[in-house]
Chains A and B, each alone.
Chain A
Amino acid sequence: MKSQIEWDAQHQEWIRLAQQGNTEAITQLVSTYQQSVFNVCYRMLGERAEAEDAAQETLIKAITKLHTFNPERPFRPWVLRIASNECIDRIRRRRPSVSLDALGENGAWEWQPGKSPLPEVELLRREREAQVRSLLQHLSPLDRLLVSLFYWEGLSYAEIATVTNLTIPAIKSRLFRARRTMARHLNQEAAHA
C-alpha cells in the first residue's frame, strides 16, 4: 500500500504529464476524480443521467484547461469548482421537469431482480435517497453545493472556500442557514403528514 507522500508525488507526476498531453496520465486523473465529480453533480442535479453528462462535461473542461492549473495548488477543489459551475449553469438553464429515472410503467418504483440483493434494503435506500433529494431541492444551487461538499465530499472549510470563492465565516453561516431551511421544511412535511 502506497503512503500518502508517495501517492502525492505520483499524483503531481500525473498532473505534470497530463499538462504535457500524456494520454495515460489524463486517463489516471479522470479515473481518480470521476466519482467525486459525479457525486457532486448527482447531489446538485438529482438525476443520474444528467449528473453523468455534467460530470463528463466537467472532466473534458478540466482536461482542456489543464494548462491553466497551478500544480502547487490542490487539484480536487479545482476540478470540483469546474463541476459546480457546470451544474449551476445547468440548473439555471433547466426547465421544470419530472424525473422518470426511477419510475415504473404505473409511475411507481419497481424492483428488478439481479439489481439489488433485497427489495426491502433497496426500498429503504431509495426512501432515504428521496428524502435527501427532497430536502436539497429547497436550497439554492450554491447552498446545495456547500452541503454536498461539506457532508459528502468531506472537504475542509478552506477547500470549500477555494471551490466557491466564499470566505470561511460565510460558508459556516450559509451552511447553518441551509440546515435551518431544511429543518423548517422537514417540520412542514411532518405537519402535513
Chain B
Amino acid sequence: MLDELKIPWDEAQSEAWWERAAAGLLSPAETRIWQAYLASCDPCRREWEALTSVERILRTAPAPPRVADDFTQATLARWQQSAARATVSRWIGILFLTLIIVVELAWLGHTAFSARHLLDVLFAGRQVWWEALTLMWSSFLVSWQALLPVALTIALLAFLWYMPNGLLVTAGLLFWTRHRAGTR
C-alpha cells in the first residue's frame, strides 16, 4: 500500500513524521499516508497505540496530593532558622578575618618597633611583609585552623604581589635551563 501511495519507507518511519502525527499536524493526505504506513507495519502500529495510551495516561493522571495545612508556616519557620544561621556564620567569618588582619598589623607593628616606621613598612618594606607572611603561613600550618585555605590564599597572593623579582628570576632560570637543554 505504501508503494501504491509512493511513500518512501525511510521518510514515513522518520521521527519527524511520528512527531507531527503525535501532535496532530498531518494534513488529510498525510494522514492517509500515515494510516497506510501503520497498517503495513505491526510493530509500528503497536508503538503508535502505546504512544496514544501514554498520552491518555499523562493527560488523566491523578493530581499529586495537597501539601500539608501547615506547610507555609513550616517553610517560613525553616527559612527564618536558616537566615539566622547564615547571619551567625557571616559574623563569625567577619570576626575571624578581622582577627587575622589585627594580628598581622600587630605583628608588623611589633616588628617595626615604632608607629612612624609602620607606615614605611606597610607601603615599602617587602622584607618585613615577607617575614610576617611566612610566620603567619607557618603558624597556620601548625594550628590547622578552619580558615587555613583562606589565609593561605591571601598569603600566596601577597607573596606573588610582593616577590615579583624572585619569580622573574626563577622563571628566567627555568627558561634558560630548558633553552640550554634544547640546544644541546
Contacts and interface: CB of A to CB of B under 8 A. Distances in A.
Interface of A: 23, 26-27, 30-31, 34-35, 38-39, 42-43, 48, 51-52, 55-56, 59-60, 63-64, 125, 128-129, 131-132, 135, 147, 151-152, 172-173, 176-177, 179-180, 182-184, 186-187, 190
B interface bracket (residues with beta carbon within 8 Å of A): 20 to 34
Nearest to A39: B64
Contacts of B86: 64
A187 B46 contact: yes
Interface of B: 15, 18-19, 22-23, 46-47, 50-51, 53-55, 57-68, 71-72, 74-76, 78-79, 82-83, 86
Contacts of B58: 132, 135, 147, 151, 179
Given A52-B68, A125-B62, A172-B19, A30 B53 contact: no
Query: From DSSP, what is the main secondary structure of chain B's interface residues?
Result: helix
Contact of B64 (A43, A59, A151): A43
Contacts of B60: 128
Contact of B19 (A128, A132, A176): A176
Contacts of A151: 58-59, 61
B67 A35 contact: yes
Contact of B57 (A23, A26, A131, A184): A131
A19 B170 CA distance: 53
Contacts of B15: 173, 176-177
Nearest to A190: B50
Most A CB within 10 A of own CB, among B15, B22, B51, B60: B51
A186 B53 contact: yes
A183 B50 contact: yes
A113 to B, nearest CB: 18
A28 B141 CA distance: 50
Contact of A42 (B23, B53, B55, B65): B65
18 contacts: A23-B76, A30-B72, A34-B71, A39-B63, A42-B64, A43-B64, A51-B64, A55-B71, A56-B75, A60-B82, A64-B79, A125-B62, A129-B61, A132-B61, A173-B19, A179-B54, A187-B50, A190-B50
